[in-house]
């Protein structure tokens, strides 16, 4: 990719499913040469999670674009030897094994650091490389539950609500991994020394669970679920149903926006209720609910389109992709037979493009090994031994 900031960076990706592949997706989109290494068995079974062209899921296609594919049997010594040889010239390795697995295979950080001191080795796990839960299995729901996030999601008096955005997997496993990798990579370029990047998805969720932490230090303490300022306590920050059973996101929190909101709706009597709490907030919320229930979402969207007071429609994903804002930002990309998201970061001097479709298992194996100096005979021998 011309002008890509990570061009020339080589990444070995041993991860699968969501957190690791999304982390390396961001690196690949920014120009890194990401080699997706899969085993001889199921490989990355994200391929089969959902529908997609030719039986390959949209999930797999979307998070593995711009990568090259290599199959490698790491249970055989010859397969591990291939990985070590590739790691000697790599800049980054990403894996998502449980703690200790890579060391038992002989491909852990100490072994790879011995042959490539500059290597940035990122291990993504649910609970990190240490602590009493380090070896425990988990999913996104477990991570956000343990970190005090799930407890705060939902309505007053109701149970915790499960978010459809995988906060732990994506905020924790993907974005925190990218942050750690880029920081370590930057330092490795000047110091000559790589690092072990230990990413725990539960840690990342806890570290961003900020407002309950702030509240914990206040006299009032942490609010009950659905009663916090941003989850139900303030009528000026909420979701209101429209006449056609759609919703508007209403968020004129600051006084300047609240005043515009009240003036536009010809409700000057609401102005003094800015920031109201308790019974006053409940009563105000009821009045706002009645008002928004009197028109359709399309009507309200048009009404607020030119008003600077933080009111927007609640859209479905298909509608979001067609919204003029996201179209102007070129956030939808048609590639590999499906609609995908473009990277969320725009950089000057670089235009994102999908250079490669998501790889088939081992699609680029011979190409990758030849670049690494393997001879034709060596590659043939590896194929004959079912290493590739």
Angle between helices 176-191 and 19-29 (to 10 degrees): 50
| Placement of tokens 């068995």 in the chain | 41
* β-strand partners of 68: 35
Q: What is the Cα Rg of the chain in Å? A: 25
Give the span between the Cα atoms of 114 and 313, in whole angstroms.
Answer: 55
**What is the set of active-site residues?**
139, 169
Asked whether 180 and 170 are in contact (CB, 8 A), the reply is: no
295-300 LR contacts (CB < 8 Å, sep 24+): 295/242, 295/243, 296/242, 296/243, 296/244, 296/246, 297/242, 297/244, 297/246, 297/247, 297/248, 298/244, 299/242, 299/243, 300/242, 300/248
Give the span between the Cα atoms of 178 and 23, in whole angstroms.
Answer: 6
Asked whether 382 and 78 are in contact (CB, 8 A), the reply is: yes
């Amino acid at each position: 990719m011309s002008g890509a900031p990570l061009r020339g960076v080589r990444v070995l990706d041993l991860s699968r499913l969501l957190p690791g592949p999304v982390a390396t997706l961001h690196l690949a989109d920014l120009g890194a040469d990401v080699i997706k290494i899969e085993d001889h068995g199921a490989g990355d079974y994200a391929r089969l999670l959902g529908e997609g062209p030719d039986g390959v899921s949209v999930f797999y296609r979307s998070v593995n674009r711009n990568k090259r594919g290599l199959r490698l049997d790491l249970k055989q010594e010859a397969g591990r030897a291939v990985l070590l040889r590739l790691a000697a010239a790599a800049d980054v390795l990403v894996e998502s094994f449980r703690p200790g697995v890579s060391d038992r295979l002989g491909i852990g950080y100490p072994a790879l650091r011995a042959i490539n001191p500059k290597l940035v080795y990122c291990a993504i796990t649910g609970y990190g490389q240490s602590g009493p839960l380090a070896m425990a299995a988990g999913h996104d729901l477990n991570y956000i539950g343990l970190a005090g996030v799930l407890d705060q999601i939902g309505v007053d008096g109701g149970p915790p609500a499960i978010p459809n955005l995988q906060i732990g997997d994506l905020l924790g496993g993907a974005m925190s991994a990218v942050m750690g990798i880029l920081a370590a990579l930057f330092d490795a370029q000047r110091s000559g020394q790589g690092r072990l990047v230990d990413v725990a998805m539960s840690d990342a969720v806890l570290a961003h669970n900020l407002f309950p932490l702030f509240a914990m230090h206040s006299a009032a303490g942490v609010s009950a679920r659905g009663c916090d300022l941003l989850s139900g306590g303030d009528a000026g920050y909420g979701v209101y149903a429209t006449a056609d059973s759609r919703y508007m996101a209403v968020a004129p929190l600051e006084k300047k926006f609240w005043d515009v909101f009240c003036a536009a709706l010809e409700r000057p009597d609401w102005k003094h209720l800015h920031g109201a709490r308790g019974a006053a907030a409940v009563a105000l919320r009821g009045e706002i609910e009645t008002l928004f229930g009197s028109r359709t979402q399309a009507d309200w969207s048009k009404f607020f389109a030119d008003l600077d007071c933080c009111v927007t429609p609640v859209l479905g994903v298909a509608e979001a992709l067609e919204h003029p804002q996201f179209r102007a930002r070129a956030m939808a990309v048609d590639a590999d037979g499906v609609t995908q998201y473009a990277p969320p970061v725009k950089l000057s001097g670089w235009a994102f493009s999908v250079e490669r479709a998501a790889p088939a298992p081992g699609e680029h194996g011979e190409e990758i090994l030849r670049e690494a100096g393997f001879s034709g005979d060596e590659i043939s021998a590896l194929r004959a031994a079912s290493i590739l």
